[in-house]
Amino acid sequence: MTRSRTVHLTVNGNPATLDAEPRVTLADALRGELRLTGTHLGCEHGVCGACTIIVDGAAMRSCLMLAVQAEGRDITTVEGLGDAAHLGPLQLAFRKHHALQCGFCTPGILTTAHALLLEEPDAGEERIREVISGNLCRCTGYLPIVAAIMEARTAYAGALAEAAQ
Amino acid sequence: MKQENNVSPLLIGQPVERMEDARFLSGSGLFVDDLERGGMWHAAILRSPIAHARILSLDASAALAMPGVHAVITAADLDGDVPVIPLRLAPLPAFEPFRQPVIARDKVRYVGEPVAIVVADSRAIAEDALERVEVEFDELSAVTGQGATADPLFEIAADNVSLRYDAGFGDADAAFAKADYVRTERFSVQRHTALPMETRGLLAEWDAAAGRLIVTGATKVTFYNRRALAKMMGLREQDIDLIEVDVGGGFGVRGEFYPEDFLIPFAARKLARPVKWIEDRREHLMAINHSRDVACELSIACRSDGMMLALRGKVFSDMGAYIRTNGGVVPAKAAQFLPGPYRIPNVSVSVEAFMTSKTPVGTYRGPGRFEANFFRERLIDMAALDLGIDVAEIRRKNLITEAELPYPIDGLVPYEGPTSYDTGDYLETFERTLLEIGWRDKQRLQGRLIDGVRHGIGLGCFVESGGAGPKENAVLTLEHDGSLTVAVGSSVLGQGLETVLGQIAADTLTIPFERIRVLHGSTTLVHEGFGTYHSRAVVMGGSAVLDGATKLREKILHQAAIHLGRPNTELTIANEHVVAANGASVSLAALAGAAVLSADGTFGNTTRTYSYGAHAAHVTVDPRTGRVEILDYVAVEDVGRAINPAIVHGQAIGAIVQGLGGVFLDHLIYDEQGQLLNASLADYLVPTASDYPMLRAVTLELRPSLTNPLGAKGAGEGGIVAVAAATANAVAAALAPLGVEIHHLPLTPPRLWRLIHDARARAHTAA
């Protein structure tokens, strides 16, 4: 059997170390080794988007990335967006707009939207829909998801303005 | 301590934010694949790559020789006694011989049928080992359609038919014989499935010393499944716990008893290790129940003024390779709901269920209704066009009026007793739908070509059953910290039921919503539960919680009366205290500390309740490409009572989008060899965020149900059942000037383009 490699990375702001066989996906390593089970696997072939995480600022499918490719990367998972007692602006907007039902696709949609709004806090409805169209949801029909992301834009724009000052 | 004497606001009827959301939004939900156990092994399932074949030999030695592989389990390990999956619903004796063995022994009948299970240190090793299991098949001809074949799937059915029946009321033949107008058309809805975002998964643990089995990942009908599993495993029911954790969507398909629901516990007991199995998406598409796949030859008889006299429907249902737990629900409901919300005095239906070498069929949200409404509403539009009657007017004339309710629709399902549409105002929801879509103004757009696309507006009416019995149970307990635990036999598959049940308990007990915890589904919670299907969770589970909360309130007040020395009648519960009229109070926590305060709630009901409403769609069709765009869509439904309007609205919008997927996208495609051609999400299409942004749902509370104290009717399925009806009628209206008629789903661009192209060719030839 192929030997494990050690991978050093940053996850949700903290340094982390993974021991992973070369064939192990980043999704499996995050879930299995780091026990960050908020990242979900819906298809394991890069279509459904449930496993989306943010790698060096860009939304990526962690099922299509190998753990060994994460060496030196800065990763944000859904757990990094706010815990149950301290939800972030996107999470709060999702709750307010009933933008989730079963919650399985939700982590990947939150991370996708987070990456989008960090780059484009003024993204329009059409743009949001386009970006989210890479994430499948079977419960909500997407309308409340788009509404929630629209609402969260102000918080991101505010944070950006603050950072610029 | 100062008491504020404010009355707790009534939560029932409010769009309360969900209690489950914080955990889902922060990634701290607990789904079955999130579970780890010490010493846990992983299972992968070898599935038949061939549609129909005899198994000649199976050699697992190479797989067993691989490091990290612990076992390969086959039918041979079951000592010649392979359990068969029982019929949970519609248990017609005719289906008995067609039930599915939990693992193939001599023969495989569909691509995806379990042949062997590999158990290994990791899922990856188990999957590697699948490729080393050598199976020799003697291939037989695949059965991919209706009719007799060279190699029948089952010896007892040379014609591959598993069930035929006739049912009806009135005298359809006589009515057809003397009608002014009759028309017969054949329609069909393609095979597709629900596709929840979480695939299935199970974790089975065997405690050899105690002789106990724990299976986590169960849902929907856990108590029924425990009963079935106990029989198969030779265990007592009380020695098995089925545990429900968070569930990533159900929509009818998840939680039925599947082969894996036996195979994984069997492996765990045999190997005396925790065994986890997580389905991958490819196997999900070939293993979980498929649905729909119904064709219908439908005839209507009318007077020349459009009054309906009779309906005759022949339903043909491709059941796939086996009859699983849902029995004949899909064809039976497709037949039963053919007359819909209309006054049709003479109805005759026949059902033919036939077997093919495809994945077995079960229920998917609105089973049979999605199909039946599509068939009937299409034919009504055709009849209206023939008779020169407006499509809204013909519906108005024939919809059952409130004065005619309750309206019996007995005799359409041979295994069910009498039933009646209960309360409602079908015309009111219909008129509201017309108003919402702007029918009066938009009619002039019918079939018009504007900027290269043709406009069409379509209507569809429905009536939908829910709230099936027999009963549901709940246990409510006041905890020592004064919080409330509600345990219920209903399952939660992601709909927000925790919140809805919490609202009911909060209002009844005037305990803050934030202090309520709802536990659900697991067989450890109540002595007997009946599950979540047929839009029954709020009607049945909600009513059981209401009953339990009412009883617990009495117990709390009784205890407080003793404590405070005041009569019950002077006591109220407020701010987590029981307060007497004289201002004396005692905290709920103190009362719970002094005595066990717990109450069992139950609700029994065998009468179905019927929600109803109408949908309308405004579409454009590009005749150059066959592409359809939804410009506006509105679904109006009377749900009796909406406990949480935001959740009901979410159910409706989500269901509409799933339905539109069923109209345009979702399609499980098989070739002539019985191979499933699109078992990946790259090939099996479902709606995405950019497909259908223009949707509206209107939830009404016009006529409460009389079957339950909440007045609730089912709310999970009304959003999907009329989508094919309204949308296909809109597409048909758009293309009517071209001579195109719509009979078959899905309405893919190539299919519509072909219809348009052929109609033009016909017109050209005729000219």
Average pLDDT for consecutive 10-residue bins of chain A (165 residues)?
88 97 97 97 98 98 98 98 97 98 98 98 98 98 98 94 85
* B666: its two tokens: 């979702």
Please give the full DSSP string across B672-700, using - where no structure is assigned: TT--BS--STTTS----TTT----EEEEE
Which sign does the torsion angle of CA B227, B232, B235, B239 carry?
negative
* Number of domains chain B contains: 2
Residues 6+ apart with CB under 8 A from B86: B99, B228, B257, B325
Q: Which of B249, B251, B650 sits opposite A104 (nearest CB)?
A: B249
Question: Which neighbouring-strand residues pair with B477?
Answer: B485, B598
| Residue B471 φ then ψ, to 5° | -160, 180
**Do B589 and B515 fall into the same domain?**
yes
Give the CATH number of the domain where residue B240 resides. Answer: 3.30.365.10
Round to whole Å and give the CA distance between B85 and B99. Answer: 6
Q: What is the predicted pLDDT for the residue at B5?
A: 34
Measured between CA atoms, how close is A71 to chain B, in angstroms?
A: 22
Q: Between chains, do A98 and B194 touch, taking CB under 8 Å as contact?
A: no
Amino acid at residue number B711: G
Q: Quick one: B499 and B411 in the same domain?
A: no
User: For residue B413, how far is the Cα from the chain centroid?
Assistant: 19
Tokens at residue B332, please?
Answer: 């039976």
Residue after which a domain boundary falls, among B579, B604, B629: B604
pTM to 2 decimal places: 0.97
Its ipTM equals: 0.98
Residue range(s) defining the domain that contains residue B497: 21-30+469-604
Domain with CATH 3.10.20.30 in chain A: 5-80
The pLDDT of residue A45 is: 97
The answer to whether residue B706 is domain-embedded is: no
The arrangement of strands across the sheet holding B577-580 comes to B571-574, B577-580, B585-587
- Closest C-alpha among B332, B313, B264, B276 to residue B87: B332
Q: Residues B192-216, buried b or exposed e (16+ Cβ, 10 A)?
A: bbbbbbbbbbbbbbbeeeeeebbbb
**For residue B494, which residues of chain A lie inside 8 Å, CB to CB?**
101-104, 139
Select from A37, A138, A141 the Cβ nearest to the Cβ of B195. Answer: A138
Q: Under a CB-based contact definition with an 8 Å cutoff, are residues B359 and B321 in contact?
A: yes
The reply to whether B689 falls in a domain is no
Which of B372, B396, B544 has its CA nearest to residue B469?
A: B544
Q: CA B389 to CA B531: how far, in whole Å? A: 45
CATH code of domain A5-80: 3.10.20.30
Length of chain B: 767
pLDDT score recorded for residue B532: 85
In a domain, B634, yes or no: no
Residue B150 and residue B238 in one domain: yes
List residues bridging with B41 in a β-sheet. Answer: B275
Find out whether B14 and B504 touch, Cβ atoms under 8 Å.
no
Average pLDDT per consecutive 10 residues, chain B (767 residues; last block may be shorter): 43 96 97 98 98 98 98 93 94 94 97 98 98 98 96 96 97 98 98 98 97 97 98 97 98 97 98 98 98 98 98 98 96 98 98 98 98 98 98 98 97 92 97 98 97 98 90 97 96 94 96 97 93 88 96 97 95 96 96 97 93 98 98 97 96 98 98 98 98 96 95 92 98 97 98 97 87
CB of B493 less than 8 A from some CB of A: yes
B762 and B483 Cβ atoms separated by less than 8 Å: no
| B133 in any annotated domain | no
Confidence at residue A1, expressed as pLDDT on a 0 to 100 scale? 53
Give pLDDT, residue B220: 96
| Residue B670: DSSP 8-state | B
Distance from CA of B16 to the nearest CA of A (A): 9
- Residues 6 or more apart whose CB falls under 8 angstroms from that of A58 comprise A115
Query: What is d(CA B738, CA B763) in angstroms, rounded to the nearest whole number?
Result: 9
Q: Which residues from chain A sit within 8 angstroms of residue B36, using beta carbons?
A: 35
To probe the interface with B, which of A24, A142, A149, A150 has the most B CB atoms within 10 Å? A142
What is residue A36's three-state secondary structure? coil
- Written as one letter, the residue type at B33 is D
Q: What are the chain B neighbours of A110 within 8 Å (beta carbons)? A: 25
Instruction: Say which residue the tokens 């999470």 belong to.
Output: A91
Same domain, B154 and B303: yes
Residue B192 φ/ψ region, left for φ over 0, alpha for ψ in the -120 to 50 degree band, beta for the rest:
beta
**B window 670-699, beta carbon within 8 A of A:** 680-682, 686-693, 695
Q: Which of B601, B602, B605 is nearest to B470 (CA)?
A: B605
Q: CATH code for A82-164?
A: 1.10.150.120
Q: Where do the DSSP E strands lie in B467-583? A: 471-478, 484-488, 516-520, 571-574, 577-580
Task: Based on the fold, state whether residues B401 and B542 are members of the same structural domain.
Answer: no
Contact B183, B379 (CB under 8 A): yes
For residue B139, tell me if it sits in a domain.
no
Note whether B256 and B386 are same-domain residues.
yes
What Å distances lie between residue B213 and B31, B39, B206, B272, B418, CA to CA? 19, 16, 5, 10, 40
Q: Under an 8 A CB cutoff, do B690 and A100 touch?
A: no
What pLDDT is attached to residue B369?
A: 98
For CATH 1.10.150.120, list the domain ranges present in chain A: 82-164
